[in-house]
Structure 1
Amino acid sequence: MTGATRDDARGLRGRVEERLGRANRGPVAMWFWELDRVLLLLAFLLIAIGLIAVAAASPATARRYSDGSHQIAPMYYFWRQAMWVGLSIPVMLLVSMMPTSLARRFALGMAAFFLLALLATPIIGVEVNGAKRWLGMGIAQFQPSEFLKPVFIVSIAWMLSLRARDPDLPMVPVTLALTGLVGATLMLQPDFGQTIVFGSVWMILLMVSGVSSRIIGGFVGAGAAGVVAAYVFYDTARIRIDNFLFPDHGGAGADHYQTDMAHATITAGGVTGTGPGGGVAKFRLPEAHTDYIYSVVGEEFGLLACAIIAVLFLTIVVRVFVKLLDEEDAFRVLAAAGLAAQFGVQATINMAVNTGLAPSKGMTLPFISYGGSSMIALSIGMGLLLAFTRRNPYLHRSPYIVR
């Protein structure tokens, strides 16, 4: 490196330190120092892994959806995902810069809009693979349930946090009614997997908010009864559960085939994988780029790579909950806990389906699976999580949570 180059590098470093130094009290500098940079790094790692995974799955999906008159380029889905990532990262960073009050108002407004969109989906939605989950036309289609998840969770957290001021407010039945409305609408699409995510996160928020164990136990019992009722009266749930529990008697249903192929694919590469581009089983796997991308990772990069992904999701959840131990704002505690729980629950369901531990649910793997609606919605959710976990580095905090 020449002397001039070294001087240029020192000058650039000096300008960065001047702009982001702790002595700088500008909004960007304060955002940088308040931000949980480890959490942001974990999100970026998952996004980078997702791009690699979509690149591995893209040729299989392109061949599957090509026909004699329409050929899809092998890397078509990778380049589209790269475009969505390019749009999503600025969204994540902009949302993470919002102060708590603005982020809360943003979430409440978005929740109202996307709840109305979700209610309209069974009526005017676009049907894809036998399910009405999309609104819009052509490339402008979007999935309301994906966008609703993070903002709905923040809205429920805000309602439950009001109990800290007035325990007599009927926020538990109000949030139950709203969650039930969302669940019933999702099951009309049908989308049983998303229903489980909304219901599970709502239960977690109840526990974090300090609702009595008696009430929690009652809801757990009601949830178990709801699963039984879904099995008896809801064909989608019954078919998937039967194909999972009784694979030898469930016939050649799509769910049975998908879970069998997912298991065959994820184990085909052993511990270290076949290497990038070396997978063969992925070409027989439906939805290799979305629901079953975890299996593609297992084949080409090995079960070790699958374990690393699982650890990254676990690290995000654990880091958020540990960081909340000394948080004094009830709303921030509930909102951040709910958003972290959403990432954890959704990832757990997807990985369980791919490994044969749960029936097929049509659930994507956060930041890993292909999808524009999913990527932007997850970036909004991560941006909100980063906003609610920001800490003033000069503020002393009590070691106790005040509710």
Structure 2
Amino acid sequence: MNVVEQARMSGSARLGRSDRSALGRWFWEIDRVLLLLVAVLIAIGLIAVAAASPAAGSRYSGGDVSFAPLHYFYRQLMWIIVAIPVMIGVSMLQKATARRLCLIGALIFTALLFAVPIIGNEVNGARRWIGVGFAQFQPSEFLKPLFIVSLAWLLSLKDRDAGLPVVPLSGILTALVALLLMQQPNFGETIIFAAAWVMLLTLSGASLRFLGILGVAAMVGIVLAYFFYPVATARIDGFLFAGGDTYQTDSALRTLTAGGLFGAGPGAGVRKFHLPEPHTDYIFSVIGEEFGIIACLAIAIIYLVIVARVLIRLLHEEDSFIVFAAAGLVTQFGLQALINMAVNVQIAPSKGMTLPFISYGGSSMVALSIGMGLLLAFTRRNPYLHRSPYVVKWSGG
């Protein structure tokens, strides 16, 4: 046996099913298909940011000739190098450990959310960021997955004691976060938090009557927001009524459809230079112009497959906390992608929502990696769990 064969067999043994190391258990228990789909999204995102980077650079460089055309591509690559180990590390956590860390993290980032109006930095008319320069981050991005897991744990306590007021308590906590987000203002994130809470209530067995009351309350809330919340007023007017400010969504749709089915080709897009935020909110339109509507449809299908795969894997899960946590996380992930794509095709008002794992952004990339790492941790399965100890392989003798 030569050295190459020995090395190959040694590597196979290290990742074989009999390997009981932490890495070996992780490799066989993780949903590798889900991990592969996320890796595909990250790779697509890196290509898309490279395509959008010259347009973003020309808009935000302030005429600085030394500003590299691929400035945002290089920074996104750096964030990916940071985010991937974070995602893998979180996915290796035991479920109980992940739950405890989420509870602690939710408390920390909720406190930071309180601090945003006081010490936060204003960017594009919104005060959502904390920090200085390169060290800026958006607390609400990190709070999303941590808060959803915390709500899942809270609602799962109902299985132990049906008399615990977990539903009203979860509603109060969600309303508190929503109020803090609307102060920034951040209407899009508010919708994400509220929708994830409703999803968890539905899974926890809330009655149709109660869900119907919530639906009516949501409609009333939208009407009140239109009359008393200027951000909602401007967005709804621009989307529904003629004469409103629809420049952003109009530009996005024109850019997305400019490339036809197969796109103008990498780097050949011209309409992207007229887009606001081409590397973040409207990167889906840049993909449409340079790679075509077919590429956009393929990306939408990848998001759909991720959501469907997680929900299917939960069908046989008996732990209510795992069901709530994983379903809530994938709801947040899928809804964020849906809102971003809906804005780009002009069927929803502008929200300032990034496209998961594709849009440029440090806070977004690392926070999404934490959320996906938690999702991978909660959907890990022991490959021997359902095998009978009495099954003996017949040798044929």
TM-score normalised according to structure 2 size? 0.96
Specify the alignment match of 1:119 in structure 2: 114
Measure how far apart 1:396 and its partner are: 2.0
Specify the alignment match of 2:189 in structure 1: 194
Post-superposition Cα deviations, 1:32-55, rounded to whole Å, max 9, x if no partner, equal 111000010011011000000000
Measure how far apart 1:69 and its partner are: 4.7
Specify the alignment match of 2:377 in structure 1: 387
Whole-angstrom CA distance in 2 between matches of 1:10 and 1:82: 35
Matched, 1:244 2:234: no
Matched, 1:348 2:343: no
Equivalent runs, 1:1-400 vs 2, <5 Å: 7-69=2-64, 71-246=66-241, 248-250=242-244, 253=245, 256-396=246-386
Measure how far apart 1:140 and its partner are: 0.7
Whole-angstrom CA distance in 2 between matches of 1:82 and 1:370: 10
Q: Which moved more, 1:290-299 or 1:7-16?
A: 7-16
Preserved contact between residue 96 and residue 387 of structure 1 (Cα < 8 Å): yes
Whole-angstrom CA distance in 2 between matches of 1:12 and 1:217: 62
Secondary structure of 1:326's counterpart equals coil
Whole-angstrom CA distance in 2 between matches of 1:24 and 1:350: 42
Q: In structure 1, what residue type is equivalent to 2:12? A: E
Post-superposition Cα deviations, 1:109-160, rounded to whole Å, max 9, x if no partner, equal 1111001001110121000011000001111110000000000000000000
Post-superposition Cα deviations, 1:204-251, rounded to whole Å, max 9, x if no partner, equal 1111111111111111111111111111100000101100111x322x
Figure out how many residues of one structure are paired with residues of the other and give that number.
387
**CA RMSD, 1 decimal:** 1.2
Gaps of 5+ in 1: 1-5, 398-403
Secondary structure of 2:357's counterpart equals coil
Whole-angstrom CA distance in 2 between matches of 1:205 and 1:85: 30
Aligned CA distance change for structure 1 residues 8 and 234 (closer, same or farther; 3 Å): farther
Measure how far apart 1:21 and its partner are: 0.4
Whole-angstrom CA distance in 1 between matches of 2:240 and 2:5: 64
Whole-angstrom CA distance in 1 between matches of 2:265 and 2:64: 32
Whole-angstrom CA distance in 2 between matches of 1:11 and 1:70: 55
Whole-angstrom CA distance in 1 between matches of 2:162 and 2:116: 36
Aligned CA distance change for structure 1 residues 8 and 79 (closer, same or farther; 3 Å): farther
Whole-angstrom CA distance in 1 between matches of 2:59 and 2:292: 23
Preserved contact between residue 111 and residue 152 of structure 1 (Cα < 8 Å): yes
Whole-angstrom CA distance in 2 between matches of 1:245 and 1:356: 11
Gaps of 5+ in 2: 388-397
Q: In structure 2, what residue type is equivalent to 1:385? A: L
Preserved contact between residue 65 and residue 72 of structure 1 (Cα < 8 Å): no
Measure how far apart 1:12 and its partner are: 3.2
Secondary structure of 2:127's counterpart equals strand
Whole-angstrom CA distance in 2 between matches of 1:7 and 1:133: 59
Secondary structure of 1:267's counterpart equals helix
Q: In structure 1, what residue type is equivalent to 2:317? A: E
Measure how far apart 1:13 and its partner are: 2.3
Measure how far apart 1:10 and its partner are: 2.7
Q: In structure 2, what residue type is equivalent to 1:355? A: V
Whole-angstrom CA distance in 2 between matches of 1:292 and 1:120: 29
TM-score normalised according to structure 1 size? 0.94
Identity %, equivalent residues: 61
